[in-house]
Structure 1
Amino acid sequence: MFYRPGDGHGLPHNPFNAIVAPRPIGWISTRGTLGDNLAPYSFFNAVAYVPPQVVFASTSAKPDRGDTKDSCAQIRESGVFCVNLVTSALIDAMNASSAPLAAGEDEFAHAGLEKADCITIDCPRVAAAPASLECRLVQVIPLLGRSNFLIHGEVTGVHIRPDCLREGRYLPPDRLSRLGYKDYAAVSETFELDRPPGG
């Protein structure tokens, strides 16, 4: 099969998300004049080591947020955000936080999650997350298409849950990832592979 995205795929569901998978989930927490917000994004990844940087994409808009969603709107306002990572134990709360609540409704409360304070930024984080990355906004980049934005942040603080550190390595019980459609995977089996010499 071959298709040009502009012409449509002709399938019951768009295969694009399922092809580019698995993808880590960035559970983005923000704070703004309307209150605290929390939402999962699967167009998320780390993009540089020094200084550490991450990106996530917000795609589509809410009627009460103009050209975007709550997360992007509040990041534009505050200039900061926190990326919380997700394990399978948090999947129900993560899913609940994706509900299309009205701007100003607190997804932490809706999902029954405890908040913790960030250190380097004025923003809440998910207390139960295996790791959280405090970020200062570098830039919001408009992407092709309506209401598509790439949010680029510099990591200014890192929280790691104590039980996820073993022998000096970050080892959470699993890593929840998005596969496309309604599919998720909990990555718990890993292996090591040495790079070629000089790599």
Structure 2
Amino acid sequence: MFYDPREGHGLPHDPFKAIVAPRPIGWISTRREDGAVNLAPYSFFNAISSDPHLVWFSSEGAKDSATIARQSGEFCANLVGRALAERMNETAIDAPRGVNEFELAGLTEAPCRQVSCPRVAEAAAVLECKVVQVLEPDDLEGNPAGVIVVMGQVVGVHIDDAMLKDGLFDITRAQTLSRLGYMDYAAVTETFAMRRPRWGDA
């Protein structure tokens, strides 16, 4: 089949998020100016550069995480492993502003080194980030898409030592969770390696 998303797909549910998958989950923690903290998962999240280390998360609408990150200039991206899936999901609730999602989900706030917002102590890895740019893209017609993209540079990395094997971060130990389409998730339990070919070796 073929369809133009602007004209509808004719399926029971939009397949877009199932096609662009798996996507790592950006479990974003922030701190407001009044000291209140916020924790929420974002399924539009990824790394965009390794030198410097840049990551981004995208908020469909002016939700708390994007708003607070823009104001404070910082955020944390906490890694979600399978063991934290249910608690991550609890933090996705549409709670009233001011509710502490750490407390709601029974999570521990841990201090960061380079940013003032807390991180999830139970997370296998955490990226401390400083905001470098906030984008609000338009659609093809030049109308605001209603999306806020927050880009941050990683200024600190926390890793649970139990997730290291021979000096490498073992994603199968962390069982890193990814967002799929519909209500679906996947945990990484198996990997395989391929070396990139070099023209001179052909």
TM-score (norm 2): 0.92
Aligned CA RMSD, in angstroms, stands at 1.3
Task: Give 3-state SS (helix, strand or coil) of 2:65's partner.
Answer: helix
The match for 1:42 is: 43
Cα deviation 1:105-155 (Å, max 9, x = unaligned):
111111110110110010100001010000000111002344301110000
Structure 1 residue 77 displacement after superposition: 1.3
Structure 1 residue 12 displacement after superposition: 1.6
Distance 2:121 2:89 in 1: 17
Cα deviation 1:9-54 (Å, max 9, x = unaligned):
1222111000000111110000003510000111111111111110
Structure 1 residue 71 displacement after superposition: 0.1
| Paired residues for 1:147-186 under 5 Å | 147-172=146-171, 173=173, 174-186=175-187
Distance 2:113 2:21 in 1: 32
Distance 1:100 1:33 in 2: 21
Distance 1:168 1:94 in 2: 27
1:125 to 119, 127, 148: 119
The match for 1:3 is: 3
The match for 1:64 is: none
Q: Is the 8 A contact 2:29 2:76 kept in 1?
A: yes
Percent of paired sites with the same residue? 53
| Larger deviation, residues 134-143 vs 164-173 | 164-173
Q: Is the 8 A contact 2:136 2:145 kept in 1?
A: no
Task: Give 3-state SS (helix, strand or coil) of 1:191's partner.
Answer: coil
Distance 2:26 2:146 in 1: 19
1:136 to 116, 126, 130: 130
Q: In structure 1, give the amino acid aligned to 2:189.
A: S
The match for 1:74 is: 68
Distance 1:106 1:143 in 2: 30
Does residue 14 (structure 1) correspond to residue 8 (structure 2)? The answer is no
| Aligned positions, number | 192
The match for 1:65 is: none
Task: Give 3-state SS (helix, strand or coil) of 1:159's partner.
Answer: strand
The answer for unaligned runs of 5 or more in structure 2 is 139-143
Task: Give 3-state SS (helix, strand or coil) of 1:180's partner.
Answer: coil
The answer for unaligned runs of 5 or more in structure 1 is 61-67
The match for 1:191 is: 192
